[in-house]
Amino acid sequence: MNWDYVVVGVVSLLALAMHVVLFVLVRRWMDRDLALSMAGDDPARRAWMLEKLAQAKREGVRRRDLQAWLERAASEAPGGRG
C-alpha cells in the first residue's frame, strides 16, 4: 500500500470538510447580520429580529425569500420604524 495516496486522500477530505463548515458558518453570520441590520440600535428590536430569524429557520423559509420575510417581520416589530 502506498501511504502517499492515503495521506493525500485524508488531507483532501479534511480540507473539503473545513470548507463546508466555513461555508455554513459564513451563511449563518450573513443571515444574522441581515436581521440585525433591519433592527437598528434598539436592543429590543435586535432581540425581536433574532427571534424572527430563528422562527424563519424553524418554518423552513428559503434563503432567497429570507430578506423579504425579515422585512415583513421588521415592519411588525414593536417600537415602529417599519
Q: What is the mean pLDDT of residues 73-79?
A: 84
Tell me the DSSP string of 27-45.
HHHHHHHHHHHTTTT-HHH
| Cell of residue 3, nine digits | 501511504
Residue 35 has pLDDT above 80, yes or no: yes
Residue 23 has pLDDT above 90, yes or no: yes
pTM value surpassing 0.75: yes
Calpha distance 82→37 (Å, rounded): 13
Q: Is 25 helix (H, G, I), strand (E, B) or coil?
A: helix
Calpha distance 38→61 (Å, rounded): 17
Calpha distance 28→20 (Å, rounded): 12
| Cell of residue 69, nine digits | 420575510
